[in-house]
A and B are shown apart, each in its own frame.
Chain A
Amino acid sequence: MRKIFWSLIIFGMVFLLVNMVPAQSYIISGGISFEDFSIGEFEEKSLGDGLDFLVSLFSIKQIGIVSAEEDPTWRCCLSADEGARICQSVSSFIDMLDVNCDNSLIPTHCDQTGDCVRGCCIDEADGSCTEGSPKEKCSTDGGTWEPDVNCNLEKCAKGCCYLGRNNYYFGTQKECVKKSIDLGTEVDFRAEIATEFECVSLAESEVEGACDMGGGECRFTTKSDCFNNLQSNKFHAGFLCTHEAIDSLCEKTYDIGCAEGRSEIYWYDSCGNRENVYGGELWADASWNNGEVLYSNSINCDGDDCGACEKYQQQCTETKLGEDHVKAGNFVCKSLECVGAPGAGGIESEPQDRANGESWCVFDGVIGGGKDLVGSRHWKFSCINGEVITEGCEDYRGEVCMEMRIDLEDAIKQKYAPDIFVVGSHPVDGIEIFDDVGNYFAQASCQKNSASQCLTYNMEDNMRENCELDSFCIVTRVNVDNDFEFDLCTPKYTKGADLTFTGDEEGSRDMDNAYCGLANIDCPVLFKKDIKGRWQCEKNCDCLGAGFYDEMNNLCVSLGDCGTYVNYVGEGTDNVIIKGDTLGMGQSLPNERNDDYIKTLEGYGDSTEDYKFEKNQRVLPQNGDISFAGDDEDFSFKDRSSEWLGVIGGVGGGMGGLAALSSTSTLLSSGLVWALPGEVGAATGIAQSLEGGIAVTAKGFALAYAALFASAAIMAVATYYVAQGMGVENEGLVEMALAGAALGFGAATAIAGIVAGGSQTGFAAAMYAGGGSGPGIIIAAVIVIILVSHQAVTQWGKTEVTKVQFRCQPWQPPMGGENCHLCHEDIDREETLKVCSEYRCESLGRACYIENADTDKPICLSQQYDNTVPIINQDQVYTEGYEFEEISRVMGDGVKVIVENKTGQEACFQEYETVIFSLNTTSSASSDDDKIPMYTQCKYSFEKPVNYETMEELYPSESNSFLKTHIFSYTMPRLDEIDPNDFTGQGYSSLYGNLRMFVMCQTSLWGIPTPKPYIVEFCIRPGPDFNAVNTELTKTIPESGSYIAFDNTTQRMDMWINEPAECSWSKEPYQEFDEMENNMSCVLESDLGELNGYNCNTEFTELENSVDNNFYIKCKDQPWFGEEEGVEESEKQRVVNAEDFIYTLKGSKAPLVVSSTSPTKSITSGTRPVTVDLSITTSGGMIGDGVSDCNYVWFGQESGFFESGASLHNQPGLNGFNVLQDNVETVRNVPVNCEDDAGNMAEGKISFNLTIDTQPANVVRAYNDGGKLTLVTDELAKCYYSYENECNSIELENMTTMSGDWSFKHVSSTWDPSKTYFIKCKDSYEHINDGCAIIVRPILF
């Protein structure tokens, strides 16, 4: 059993290793080589997709459509640094000045140049082939360059080369010749052996025996070695030299030893020949086996005294003095296992025995689920010959470690069939296939982390599907409240960020700010006033609780080194901000971190146990409708007051109708009266009263009641709408409608009393009496007063939507450097080393820095403690027309920002005006003349701060980054938001408010704050804003003038304007704002501006093909004036654009189609794998020229064409079809899809037939035709003949060429019956017959 087990380990290991090289390589390159080995279950993701995303993110939108040949984003430097670097493509993302190119740059990618195009470089002297070699360099250095980048060439076809004495090499035929010559052996090249595994396995299967060299000399070797190298023709297969039948002087001995290239301990004869495997001392004679070969798997020994060492897991080793050894000599089977190797959590985790050749993943703590720790790295550990080798995957988690395990027990059950190997991934992926003590063989690999791709899926309709299919992405669900839940596709293994903050990398985290900011999402919370006038939360109330912090921070963290999180040793910092208004309802926002939550975070770095946490997070809730925060349209609150209005009106009218009808009929009992509209009843009552002189009868009273209730109903409705116009909402409207009803009832009664004038008859008298007369009027009045007063005091039903703002900032390391040493502490341990790195070091503390980074053992040191305080200085005012004026106040020094050369109110900002200015920080240790810039982090507030720590998180534009210069962008508030004590001047015309901004900063390393706040003062003056929305500053997506897809009739447009405003659009020009029929959805609050301004969006409809669809937009600014009382007056202050902002969407000319594909017919290849060039053309589309970007699907992997972005799309040099049967034509379909900038999409398929021909031509007929030898071959070929047997030579130069150039028919110039014609043929793929194609003896004809 043990033997079977180990055999399986060996088999499994070798099987894997054979396939791992191409398999892993495939994963990264996006190419494919193996159809016969399913790697689908293994983690797969090509680099290409992420690459395409990044390239497109940074370039395509900016450069528009260009052909590949003229692509301005790439330049090629043929040679840089005086020839030291060759063929380096320079992208526009790299500063051109950094490229020290020897010559001028060529305006295209290097692969497009004649000199740098990559192909196969063949060293003719050595026979080696180097893939991906630049053409010019190869040729200049004396190589032969061929355009096949993957060297799928006959010359480069590899086979097995036997070099004698069980020595095999897998290489090209020429390499074999060279090595054989060097080693003095006959060339023995076996082209039919196509894999390295088969080749190296030959050493095991080679038949050995005694080579009788004569004269009593004998050598135990292979037949080939005996014949070719030892020049003997007496080979006795399966015999030892000591066999009695061999005429040899060699005698068996009791000497043992190791053998080159073998793992077992062997007996040796007196001539030094290896004999059989040592099977234990008592087995001396038995293992001699009467002088015949006994194969090692027939040796049945076990225990310490056994020489049958397990291949790959044990190795014959000579022992030193005092060491245990087998009884026959100083040798032992030394185990190559790694006993007690580190577990998945590194050296702290539970050790585990590992087989030789095994590799496994080791982590620093929690991984996956968007929770990789800051500074953490993935590690690949391997066991090689008893030694554990550590290798770090690419830092910053540019690579992640993936582990595949083979269940050996299953393999045993299934009798070694390779396809039953259960291939799974690491338990962290939630697929726990194996228990930890089970018998499995692990193989790990570092794979490129394509995390960047994940966010792009969020822009696609089938986000969830795509995200879940991508093994590097996960769907992150944020579920705070019913109206605040959404899914986002985020990286599964977050990328690390550049934590460097000093030196030349100033601002290096700008990009981090940008991507952390993707989680800056606001939760709209609906408040409503209750009957007592207190604000009560109605919707999204959980956004005010701790759950909001946790959920949003999880999202923030999942973007990679953002938010409140911990480094890999479990030390964390807080990097999120939550702001919002709770309308004084006594509830604080969840700014404080939840202790339990933080404890969970801190535990992530401790042990491997924690990473199972991630597994529990994989099952995502599948709720129904999802509304996305910040989208006001989705966040609608249904006002139910109108339903109450209906009730009131219905009751009033119904009562009237009831009364009227009951006077004339008996329908009362039918109940149908309730269905009659009140107005009908009221009208009937009035009509009947007008018939005149109706006495106070029952009928008269009925009609009078009808009129009273009708009055109540009418007044209720009227009051409702008036109140609504005054901003009363919900229950308030009900209250006011009731007040209106009471008013209507009372007023009608009072009027009727006046009209009746004390008369006891008549309709008015009936109404007066029905209304309760005088007391009724008083009661109605009281009701009105109570209801109106209550509404006025409590504003019952009033609603307010506030937004809880979540701000996700880049993760910042802890202050100081007390933990720096943890980075390199492994150096001092005997156990396996985890190398320190810059990223790892800097995550441990702001004062940590890497030393000896250019060695294999860098260390992490702490900067010396420095208590120098930072000084804040004025820097620059960027807003045109303003300047700094130095001030000195009791509470601190600072500046006042004023209008240049102005004083008093004229020097002030207008309300809502934005100012941009910068402050810088210098060291207090520097002099006034020579100020030393200092990196600091700054905050500001409008209350005088106690200290830096307790300041609210209001950061300058750069957020929480540490910089030398800090830029502030601030929009002035309305005057009524300023403390009345801060006003200067008298009367409206000269009044202005003063605002003080207090700025404090702390040093980057040790957090030393400025001693006093720095004051930046502004004054704000009232006054009308005469400027309309500046359409020149307006930005839109899609841009005006963009094309839309063919037959697309609707298109959403987002627009950012420079100030809050209401905007509308029309398809007709020159419309007044109020006449425009379509309103846009706009941000109206001044504090909700984004980077590009204030957002408005709409959906344009009825779009047409092939024309310019123009839309005319106008905006009306200062929307807050519309909300105030005295609307008409304040409305006058609002400014509307005089001119239309014209926005155009162009309709596509035609649908995009794939108009042609190539190849179309048959391809025949002479080598395996086949290299195929794909090509398609597209037509139609945006402007009808077919320009688009196209992808192809190659073995399930979608990739972009190498040349695309035009109407012709080319993809050269694809590899595949490795295992097609020779000479069997197979149909291949390659799906393609294209999309142009307008979103027109086309799909197609490249179909072609494929045949692989790896066999040389066969001669199918030979005959004498007119005195000439004539041959017919089964394929196009050239044939050669010789009268000598030259068939074992691969060179054809010495043979005579037959007629016919690449022909089926070949004719010799002679027909000589006395000769024998030795014929070889070469087909058009350079395949040459191994021996003779045919030997023709004319005499036999």
Chain B
Amino acid sequence: MDSKRGQVTIFIIIAIVIVAAVLIFILFRSGFLPDLPFGKEVNPQAYMKSCIEDKITEGVTELSFVGGTLNNKNALNFMFTDEGVYRNISYLCYNQNYYYPCVVQEPMLLRHVTDELKDYIEDDVKDCFDGLAKSLDNNYDVVANYRGFDLNLGSDRVVLSIDGKLTLSKAGDTKVQDDLSFLVPTHFYDVAKVAQEIISQEAEFCNFEHIGYMIFYPQYKIERHTTGDGVHIYTIGYEDSEDKFRFAVRGCVIPPGL
């Protein structure tokens, strides 16, 4: 009887172990738990995300308020008083003459802001990758091969994909990590798309009916400030978020006097 109980106990234990093993396997596969190929060391994916996410957010914020170009010479130095800081707001559509419609300055705006964001985070991504390799170096023989990274803007996200490979070796066991990518939630792409629509219409019609646009798409809040010398400053916001995109347009300006 006792042996039967013992057998049952053993079976139960085995079953628990099997179930636990299966669960752990599933959880690891699903990514629900950190990927720990060699125990409880650093998870490269999580490491990279935590290392670079703030920088991406910072870059997005910086670019958002200056029309997608940092240090642009063709910009309007302007301050919104509730923000308390002057910014060089890029002219995305500009004509120095009076009367004439503006000329689009960044026809490939989305690609341009993507490139600007890449430039902004480029060094940090490299540093993070090196930092990751270094943090793994304590426990493994690490061969790090960094070839760069790719950045994609999409609806409600920025996706960063590292073009690199980490080869980790320990006691004859080798693992290759070459799919480091993650996303950062933001509506940067969405607001930039609206900006593109605005400059397209400004270039053609000298105007954009932002009130109507907001009625159709209530998730966007578009503010237009017209300066004393006829420059339009657009600020596009996305509902319930801090995501904004601000830029300037100068076109079809009518000079003072008859």
> Which of chain B's residues have a CB closer than 8 A to the CB of A356?
215
- B83 CB to nearest A CB, Å: 9
Q: CB within 8 A of A451: which of B81, B86, B258?
A: B258
Whether B212 and A21, one on each chain, are in contact in the complex, defined by CB atoms closer than 8 angstroms, is yes
Could you say which of B79, B81, B206, B208 contacts A47, with CB atoms under 8 Å apart?
Answer: B206
Given the contacts A29-B205, A47-B252, A133 and B100 also touching, CB distance less than 8 Å: no
Interface flag for B31 (CB, 8 Å): no
Beyond A28-B252, A495-B256, is A856–B81 a contact (Cβ under 8 Å)? yes
The contact string, 1 if C-beta is below 8 Å from chain A, for chain B 234-258, is: 0000000000000000001111111
Query: Cβ of A858: which chain B residues have Cβ within 8 Å of it?
Result: 228
CB closest chain-B residue, reference A88 = B96
Which interface residue of B107, B110, B201, B224 has the most chain A CB atoms within 10 A?
B107
Binary interface encoding of chain B residues 83-98 relative to chain A, with 1 for a CB under 8 A from any of its CBs, else 0: 0001000010011110
| B107 close to A141 (CB less than 8 A) | yes
Interface residue? A612 (CB, 8 A): no
CB <8 Å contact, B226 and A497: no
Inter-subunit contact A13/B74 (CB<8 Å):
no
Docked-complex contact B254 and A396, CB < 8 angstroms: yes
- Establish whether residues B157 and A89, one from each chain, have CB atoms under 8 Å apart when the complex forms: no
Does A939 lie at the interface of the complex (its beta carbon under 8 Å from any beta carbon of B)?
no
CB <8 Å contact, A123 and B108: yes
B41 at the interface (CB under 8 A from A): no
Q: Which chain B residue lies CB-closest to A559? A: B258
Contacting residues, chain B, for A559 (C-beta < 8 A): 258
Q: Does B46 reach chain A (CB closer than 8 Å)?
A: no
Residue in B97, B111, B218 whose beta carbon sits within 8 Å of that of A89 in the complex = B97
Expressed in whole angstroms, the Cα–Cα distance for A515 and B84 within the complex equals 42
Chain B residues whose C-beta falls within 8 Å of the C-beta of A721 in the assembled complex: none
CB interface residues, B 99-114, toward A, < 8 Å: 99-101, 103-112
A91's partner among B79, B97, B252 (CB-CB below 8 A) is: B97
Q: Which residues of chain B are near A385, meaning CB under 8 Å? A: 218
Q: Provided the pairs A132-B103, A134-B103, A141-B111 are in contact, do residues A85 and B205 lie with their beta carbons within 8 angstroms?
A: no
CB-contacts of A376-406 with B (<8 A): 382, 384-385, 389, 391-396, 398-399
In the complex the two chains form, is B107's CB within 8 Å of A137's CB? yes
A17 to B216: give the CA distance in the assembly, Å.
9
Q: Which of B156, B211, B230 contacts A395 (CB 8 A)?
A: B230
* Most chain A CB atoms below 10 A, which of B156, B253, B258: B258
User: Which residues of A lie under 8 Å from residue B155 when comparing CB positions?
Assistant: 179, 182-183
A1 to B207, CA, bound (A): 37
Query: Is there contact, CB below 8 Å, between B257 and A560?
Result: yes
- Counting chain A CB atoms within 10 Å of each CB, the highest count among B104, B157, B223, B257 belongs to B257
Q: Is B215 touching A13 in the complex (CB atoms < 8 A)?
A: yes
A856-B225 contact in complex given A84-B74, A121-B108, A512-B257, C-beta closer than 8 Å: yes
User: What is the minimal beta-carbon distance from A527 to any residue of chain B, in angstroms?
Assistant: 36
- Contact of B200 with A by CB under 8 A: yes
Per-residue CB proximity of A102-131 to B under 8 Å, as 1/0?
A: 000000001000001010010101101111
CB atoms of B81 and A357 under 8 A apart: no
Q: How many residues of B contact A (CB 8 A)?
A: 68
Does B204 count as interface, using CB distance less than 8 angstroms? yes
Which residues of chain A in 604-622 are interfacial with respect to chain B, using CB atoms and an 8 Å cutoff? none
- The contact string, 1 if C-beta is below 8 Å from chain A, for chain B 155-176, is 1110000000000000000000
B157, B226, B256 — most chain A CB neighbours (10 Å): B256
Nearest-CB residue, chain B, relative to A91: B97
* CB–CB B257/A392 < 8 A: no
Query: Which among A85, A128, A560 is the interface contact of B258 at CB below 8 angstroms?
Result: A560
Complex: A150 Cα to B203 Cα, angstroms: 10
Question: Nearest residue in A to B229 (C-beta to C-beta)?
Answer: A395
A-facing residues in B32-73 (Cβ within 8 Å): 72-73
The number of chain A residues with a CB under 8 A from chain B is 106
Contact at B205–A24, with CB atoms within 8 Å? yes
B122, chain A: closest CB distance, angstroms = 18
Question: Quick one: which of B80, B95, B154, B211 contacts A855, CB cutoff 8 A?
Answer: B80
> B199 an interface residue at 8 Å Cβ cutoff?
yes
Whole-angstrom CA separation of A915 from B11 in the bound complex: 124
Across the interface, B211 reaches (CB within 8 A) one of A178, A359, A839, namely A359
- Bound together, the chains give a CA A389 to CA B252 distance in angstroms of 23
The verdict on B134 contacting chain A, using a C-beta distance below 8 Å, is no
Interface positions, chain A 192-218, Cβ under 8 Å from B, are 196-197, 200
- A391 contact from B95, B100, B226, B229, Cβ within 8 A: B226
Distance in angstroms between the alpha carbons of A522 and B247 in the assembled complex: 52
Measured in the bound complex, the distance between the Cα atoms of B215 and A200 in whole Å is 10
Q: How far is the CA of A196 from the CA of B76 in the complex (A)?
A: 33
Alpha-carbon gap, A80 to B196, bound state (A): 22
- B29 in contact (CB, < 8 A): no
Are the CB atoms of A81 and B73 closer together than 8 Å?
yes
Q: Chain A 74-112, CB within 8 Å of chain B: the 1/0 string?
A: 000000111011111111001000010000000000100
Residue from B73, B200, B211 within 8 A of A130 (CB atoms): B200
A340 within 8 A of B: no
CB distance from A241 to the nearest CB of B (A): 26
Given A121-B108, A200-B216, A854-B78, CB of A131 within 8 Å of CB of B99: no
- The answer to whether A131 touches B73, judged by C-beta atoms less than 8 angstroms apart, is no
Q: Are A398 and B211 in contact (CB under 8 A)?
A: no
**Are B108 and A138 interface neighbours, CB within 8 A?**
yes
- Chain A residues with CB below 8 A from B206, complex form: 25, 28-29, 47, 448
Q: What distance in Å separates the Cβ of B201 from its nearest Cβ neighbour in chain A?
A: 7
Return the contact of B209 from the options A13, A20, A137, A511 (Cβ within 8 A): A20
B254/A134 in contact, CB under 8 A: no
CA distance A455 to B154 in the complex (A): 53
B204 touches A391 (CB 8 A): no
Residues of B within 8 A of A26 (CB): 205
Closest residue on chain B to residue A132 by CB atoms: B203
Nearest-neighbour CB distance to chain A for B239, whole angstroms, equals 10
Tell me if A814 counts as interface (CB < 8 A to partner B).
no
Docked-complex contact B103 and A118, CB < 8 angstroms: yes
- In the complex, per-residue mask of A477-510: 1 if CB is within 8 Å of any chain B CB, else 0: 0000000000000010001111000000000000
* Contact present for B204 and A150 (CB under 8 Å): yes
B214 interface hit (Cβ, 8 Å)? yes
For residue A853, CB closer than 8 A to chain B, the reply is yes
Chain A residues near B205 (CB-CB < 8 A) = 22, 24-26, 28-29, 31
Q: A84-B73, A91-B97 are in contact. Are A21 and B201 (CB under 8 A)?
A: yes
A515 engages B257 (CB within 8 Å)? yes
A123 and B110 within 8 A (CB): yes
- Complex contacts, B215 vs chain A, CB 8 Å: 13-14, 17, 312, 356-357
**Contact in complex: A497, B104 (CB < 8 Å):** no
User: Within the assembled complex, what's the spacing in Å between the Cα atoms of A54 and B254?
Assistant: 11
| CB < 8 Å neighbour of A511 from B86, B200, B257 | B257
In the complex, A1188 has a CB within 8 A of chain B: no
Chain A nearest CB from B54 CB (Å) reads 23
Tell whether, in the assembled complex, residue B196 and residue A497 are in contact, meaning their CB atoms are under 8 Å apart. no
Q: List chain B residues, Cβ under 8 A from A455.
A: 258
Give bound CA distance, A394 to B224, whole Å.
12
Q: Select B111's contact among A51, A87, A125, beta carbons within 8 Å.
A: A125
User: What are 9 residue pairs bridging A and B, where the CB atoms are less than 8 Å apart in the complex?
Assistant: A24-B209, A81-B74, A88-B95, A141-B106, A141-B112, A451-B258, A511-B257, A838-B228, A850-B228
Residues of A at the B interface (CB closer than 8 Å) are: 13-14, 17-18, 20-22, 24-26, 28-29, 31, 47, 50-51, 54, 80-82, 84-91, 94, 99, 110, 116, 118, 121, 123, 125-126, 128-134, 137-138, 141-143, 149-151, 178-179, 181-183, 196-197, 200, 312, 356-357, 359, 382, 384-385, 389, 391-396, 398-399, 445-446, 448-449, 451-452, 455, 491, 495-498, 511-512, 515, 559-560, 835, 837-840, 850, 852-858
**13 extra interface residue pairs, beta carbon distance < 8 Å, beyond A384-B211, A838-B229, A855-B78:** A17-B216, A21-B208, A25-B205, A29-B204, A85-B94, A125-B111, A132-B101, A134-B104, A395-B229, A446-B207, A497-B258, A839-B256, A853-B227
Interface, chain B (partner A; CB < 8 A): 72-81, 86, 91, 94-97, 99-101, 103-112, 154-157, 193, 196, 199-201, 203-209, 211-218, 223-230, 252-258
